[in-house]
Amino acid sequence: MPTPKAIPSLKQRIIEEISQNGPMPLSRYMNLCLGDPHEGYYMTRDPFGMAGDFTTAPEVSQMFGELIGIWAIEAWKAIGAPTKTRLVEFGPGRGTLMADCLRSLSLEPKLISGLEVQMIEMSPTLVAAQQKRLVDAPCPVSWHGTLPDCSLPTLMIANEFFDALPVHILTKTETGYAQRHITAQDDDTLVFADIPASLPTGFPEPDHIQTGTVFELSPERYQYAQTMAATLKANTGAALIIDYGFEQPKTGATFQALQAHQPVDPLENPGSADLTSLVDFTSVRHAFTDHQITLSPTTTQMDFLLNLGLLERAGVLGSTANEAGQIELQAAVNRLVSPDEMGTLFKVISASTSQ
């Protein structure tokens, strides 16, 4: 029997694809580095926490997911407290946010008894972590690669999901646009190359961009936002998006690779680092307004969590904690809302069919 051929490394396969098809658009490179079934960054590891590459808000404190649960209860009431509701989380990481959120939702027996949770996750490693975390969930939970069709009123949550979707880097030139690609040198080193290209289909000329300016566009993020908006339009419900990002007019490239909490060369070791960029909230908003879905003004994570009662919740948890526990709670509050930490870089938008 012939021995099965070993799968070439992701880097080798990227070089092969470049030699066949020419320079590779950055968005394709991101897709491969994050989602390749064999070596994709999210597919093969649990990257969260101090020992990993980055720490997300749900991993900082249980209060984050609990307060999102409070948001979900309010959103559910605002759409008329339906007897059956679907709760969707996009890119749920370790499942921590959902576990903490469901604890809050259990305070509303009518909501929890008619609730169906759907987790949208591409990584088998993280699906396994989420299943373990939610083994005692108080309602049915199912896992999917993309959002399933369903006619229930739907509440949707996406924390640090949009930043993980691919981005295009473009430069406005005298004659049109150049798009950032990856190409390979003779010694197999990967390098960037800006190559003339048109704007992705369906994207209008951005009016705030001058010739010579670099900017980012993400059709993939726009598409996900449109899916969320279309779901709200068809099913009724609410959506909550939290991520690091900006509102236009901002230009320049924010794309970066992170490993062990430090920026690294994104081309050095494909698949070994988190590739990410700031989310353009103006573009995400357009996707919702195109579907005539009303959005709240963009707010900061600081204002969002403080308004939902972060300090009060910390006070309740602190009242039964020992000194070390209290110090930990203070540090968590600081991490989540201080402008020097996650407080203002992280933005929040929500949409509801109730408005």
Binding site for ligand SAH (CB under 6 A): 42, 48, 56, 58-59, 91-93, 97, 120-123, 126, 159-161, 164
Provide Rg for the chain, Cα atoms.
Answer: 21
Smallest separation (angstroms) from ligand SAH to the CB of 210: 32
Smallest separation (angstroms) from ligand SAH to the CB of 59: 6
Smallest separation (angstroms) from ligand SAH to the CB of 300: 17
Give Cβ neighbours of residue 110 (< 8 Å, ≥ 6 apart): 81, 83
Smallest separation (angstroms) from ligand SAH to the CB of 118: 12
Smallest separation (angstroms) from ligand SAH to the CB of 205: 27
Contact predicate 116/87, CB 8 Å: yes
Distance CA 72, CA 67 (A): 9
Which residue has the CB atom at the shortest distance from ligand SAH?
91
Smallest separation (angstroms) from ligand SAH to the CB of 213: 28
Distance CA 64, CA 291 (A): 29
Which of residues 59 and 206 has its CB atom nearest to ligand SAH in the complex?
59
Which of residues 61 and 85 has its CB atom nearest to ligand SAH in the complex?
61
Smallest separation (angstroms) from ligand SAH to the CB of 121: 5
